[in-house]
Structure 1
Amino acid sequence: MSRLSAKAAKPARTVTLAPPAFRPVQLATLVDAVPTGSRWLHEMKYDGYRLEVAIGDGKARAYTRSGLDWSDKFADIVAQAAGLKVRSALLDGEAVVMDEHGRSSFQALQGALKGAPAIIDFIAFDLLELDGEDLTNLPLVERKAKLRAILPDGEPRIRFSEHIEGNGEKLLHSFCDAGLEGVISKRADARYIGSRSGGWLKTKCIKRQEFVIVGWTPSDKSRAFRSLILGIHDKGELRYAGKVGTGFTMDEILSLMERMKPLERKEPTVKAPRAEVRGAHWLKPALVAEIAYTEMTNEGTLRHPSYLGLREDKKPEAVVLETEAHVAEVAAPAASKVKISNRDRVIFPESSITKGQLADYYAALAPVMLPWAGSRPISLVRCPQGRAKKCFFQKHDAGSFGDTVKHVGIMEKDGHEEPYLFVDTSDGLLTCVQMGTIEFHGWGARIEDVEKADRLVFDLDPDEGLDFEAVRKAAFHFRDILKSIGLETFPMVTGGKGIHVIAPLVPQAEWPEVKDFARRLAQAVAQSDPANFTAALPKVQRKGRIFVDYLRNQRGATAVMPYAVRARPEAPVAAPITWKEMETIDAPNHFHIGDAGELVKRASSKVLAGWGRADQVLPDL
């Protein structure tokens, strides 16, 4: 054989790919009945922890629904996943412990995490990326077919979630008779949307959800508790939801007493009937418990509650009252239930753009905007009479927005809670528009844990008179600095004057650390190039320079959300772009409301691949 033919016979070198970054997970809406029709796939509702498993370069990682890296807790699943015959993949599924009858048990999972992790299985029900290709725009049936193909038969720890087409009501009855939790129904033809889109529905056999432990009542027979006092966030306020006194083992009681002791406080955490909480030991609201119950009374307390276990993957701020929606309303085709009044009212006078056109824009962009802006505290810029008239910020609400705009209770500096707004559906966005909203600004953290940042934002704000070329150079300068310390970034044109340079983060670092990092980096850049940059807050010190606004990176601060319209002439739009596009884009207000189709197409293509990595942590500086 010649040298040439010998070389040709060599197997091609396999190109390895890094594990994909975490993506916001798609969530299911609780409904009162299983949807009918053949366009729905129905799966078992598992009783465990939601996980994303990222595989690449012979390694794997496991992330919770809020993006925390729990690879150590699920080491056996991670080890099995790393051996799958793929270059890279991102699987969505549930970590569970199954009994001999095929039933998953949250309590058994809790026990396994403490001492027997090898018995935990991963039930994979979706595939978001494969070998470097984004699959989220494919129909569910195609994603599941690809998922089934990469999961070998007989894999002990990683299993495929089987489904049936149609006959969901019959499946629910059989599951309930078998003592299972319920059914998840999914639109067979739908793309994957990292929010609560209405494309996934859940129907439960028994009522259960998370509650905040706000106190305990003492036992007259021992030093332990008799019952736990429960709270739930309802319309942004933590209220009394009753007590639970069953479902505990003695080991669990002792463990809970140990965990509750350092959380004790003198003042009541919630208002409750005095007779029901006599002798109560009140707690700082820091622990979340999963509770099963038969129903909720007219007073908002639980009937026949039973304790199932602690939820360490959820924070108390994110525990909100979950109510069943009517399946006929939620499962209807994409038409919104929000009525937009005065559609012909002109709200951008210089271009005659109307309220109806603004609503149509947000309806079109909702699937690509919600993974960024959904499920995080937001501030709205409301301009009820149009952008040229009086506009104002709003971050709290007493309930005037209705049920589609939700609330998360967040502790203020003085110790009391305030209800902050958030949305997680297209109808939530449109309700805000109906109420006069033009702009959406969001925290740098999601409601799952408002104390930990999931992004780092540097707002490069030019002084009057500086042209866009100066901003472009500044953006690349920040990209290179952040890359040199290990942070990949992407730029976003803001629709205003400047550029945001954004680094996605695993929600691990808390706000004081994030703010200190951003401040020191901004000041270091300003000191090294004082002719072009400043981190000084007084405007008089910004003349002829670019202000590096690092204050977006602190608790309670907001930044304009990707795809939000700005209350500025011609209705410009904030939009993520690539660094390649940054080389030639003409202005920070390049995109506008009329580009809805292009923006959806861009977000659904590979054009914007490489927007940083959500598995990054804040480096030392």
Structure 2
Amino acid sequence: MADAVEIVVPGPQGDRRVRVTNPDKVYFPEPGITKRELVDYYLTVAEPLLAALLHRPTTLKRFPDGVEGEPFYAKRVPKGAPSWIEGVEITFPSGRTAVEVCPTEPAVLAWAANLGTFDFHPWPVRRSDVDRPDELRIDLDPQPGTTFDDAVRVALVLAEVLADAGVVGHPKTSGGRGVHVLARIRPEHDFVGVRRAVIALAREVTRRIPSLATVSWWKEERGRRVFLDFNQTARDRTIASAWSVRGTPRATVSTPLRWDQLDSVQPADFTLRTVPDWLAEHGDAHADLDDHPQAIDTLLEWADRDARDHGLGDLPYPPDHPKMPGEPPRVQPSRERRPPKS
């Protein structure tokens, strides 16, 4: 077993030398995938992956002991990082700040993979304006008793609703049982405004298919439906990027698709070992994602309508956020209705 190997990674600023320690270390025991294979995979998909990450503050989900170990989210550029690892300061909901990794070239991907990074979690902003998202994200999360196929059915309705709002979405597998849909938007609104637009969008989906989709934040109210997780749009909430390897036993990958491909695949089709061939054959389904930034004015008009005509205001924020203006109580419904003890 080699203790370390040095690889040369070409890039826009010239060649970088990246040291890969313990390259034969097995990260995924079931298929026998090693650290070196993970590094090589990320260099193979570097072009489309960097299109998803470029100039975005990016949280690294690291599995230093492999898929069977305990992962953690690295939200700061680590000490000892090479001088060519760039960063940008972001502000957490608490008001604290950090300088987070901002990928700019393929060598960053190899360096991160050497640290045990499986998935990259980019913020929906660019470093030129870290407070105004340029990406609208919808996370379709199947609840117990539902499947990936259910998430696909909801995603296809979501595509129709987006079209009615004048927005084009781009789907991808989550790498788990869910579906992610992304849309490039103009960076004209803050996190609160974009989240408000996503809530209006999700509510419209649930009106059309109430038996299949829900926006209920509390799990006890979701039932056997697909949850449209509006809070993935909140500040410091992220989803795994396209082309990210997920922490699953078979090393599944979050893979971009065309809408006409979505109902003919399964998440297990896309793994670290199969995706390079898929990419070579089908190309990057999100290659045109950046071409036409879109307005979300119609979605915000829907939000105004919901508040005015239906009394539908904000929904609960994640627990790590401060109490937000207009937010309903963060009390589990069953607890809220519980009569006081005598």
Amino acid at match of 2:77: D
Alpha-carbon offset, residue 576 of structure 1: 0.8
Amino acid at match of 2:229: D
Alpha-carbon offset, residue 611 of structure 1: 4.9
Question: What TM-score results when the alignment is normalised by the length of structure 2?
Answer: 0.79
Q: Which residue of 2 aligns with 1:341?
A: 21
Distance 1:405 1:392, change over 3 A: same
Q: Is the 8 A contact 2:125 2:133 kept in 1?
A: yes
Q: Which has the larger radius of gyration?
A: 1
Does 1:198 find its partner at 2:11?
A: yes
Tell me which of 161, 165, 170 is aligned to 1:490: 170
Does 1:367 find its partner at 2:50?
A: no
Instruction: Give the 5 Å matches for 1:367-516.
Output: 367-412=47-92, 417-516=97-196
Amino acid at match of 2:86: K
Amino acid at match of 2:150: A
TM-superposition CA deviations, 1:200-238 (whole Å, max 9, x none): xxxxxxxxxxxxxxxxxxxxxxxxxxxxxxxxxxxxxxx
Compare 353-362 and 509-518 and name the one that shifted more.
509-518
Alpha-carbon distance in 2 for matches of 1:546, 1:494: 14
Alpha-carbon distance in 1 for matches of 2:95, 2:73: 23
Alpha-carbon distance in 2 for matches of 1:613, 1:588: 27
Q: Is the 8 A contact 1:602 1:608 kept in 2?
A: no
Secondary structure of the residue that 1:521 maps to in structure 2?
helix
Q: Is the 8 A contact 1:489 1:612 kept in 2?
A: no
Alpha-carbon distance in 1 for matches of 2:72, 2:119: 10
Q: Is the 8 A contact 1:364 1:600 kept in 2?
A: no
Q: Which residue of 2 aligns with 1:590?
A: 269
Distance 1:380 1:331, change over 3 A: closer
Greater helix fraction, Structure 1 or Structure 2: 2
Alpha-carbon distance in 2 for matches of 1:475, 1:510: 25
TM-superposition CA deviations, 1:467-503 (whole Å, max 9, x none): 3321211110000001011001111011111001211
Question: What TM-score results when the alignment is normalised by the length of structure 1?
Answer: 0.44
Tell me which of 14, 23, 48 is aligned to 1:331: 14
Alpha-carbon offset, residue 583 of structure 1: 3.0
Alpha-carbon distance in 2 for matches of 1:419, 1:538: 33
Task: Give the CA RMSD over aligned residues.
Answer: 2.3
TM-superposition CA deviations, 1:430-488 (whole Å, max 9, x none): 11111111111111111111111111111111112223321211110000001011001
Q: Which residue of 1 aligns with 2:200?
A: 520
Amino acid at match of 1:493: T
TM-superposition CA deviations, 1:35-87 (whole Å, max 9, x none): xxxxxxxxxxxxxxxxxxxxxxxxxxxxxxxxxxxxxxxxxxxxxxxxxxxxx
Q: Which residue of 2 aligns with 1:619?
A: 297
Greater strand fraction, Structure 1 or Structure 2: 1
TM-superposition CA deviations, 1:271-303 (whole Å, max 9, x none): xxxxxxxxxxxxxxxxxxxxxxxxxxxxxxxxx
TM-superposition CA deviations, 1:376-421 (whole Å, max 9, x none): 1111111111011111111113523332432211244565532122
Alpha-carbon distance in 1 for matches of 2:94, 2:149: 45
Amino acid at match of 1:616: Q
Alpha-carbon offset, residue 604 of structure 1: 4.5
Stretches of structure 2 that go unaligned for 5 or more consecutive residues are 1-9, 303-342
Stretches of structure 1 that go unaligned for 5 or more consecutive residues are 1-196, 200-329
Instruction: Give the 5 Å matches for 1:208-247.
Output: none
Alpha-carbon distance in 2 for matches of 1:500, 1:351: 26
Alpha-carbon distance in 2 for matches of 1:390, 1:380: 14
Secondary structure of the residue that 2:128 maps to in structure 1?
coil
TM-superposition CA deviations, 1:564-588 (whole Å, max 9, x none): 1101111011111001111312x13
Tell me which of 197, 202, 209 is aligned to 1:529: 209
Q: Is the 8 A contact 2:67 2:247 kept in 1?
A: yes
Q: More relative contact order in 1 or in 2 (CA 8 Å, sep 6+)?
A: 2
Alpha-carbon distance in 1 for matches of 2:233, 2:94: 21
How many residues are matched?
A: 291
What is the aligned-residue identity percentage? 28
Secondary structure of the residue that 1:593 maps to in structure 2?
coil
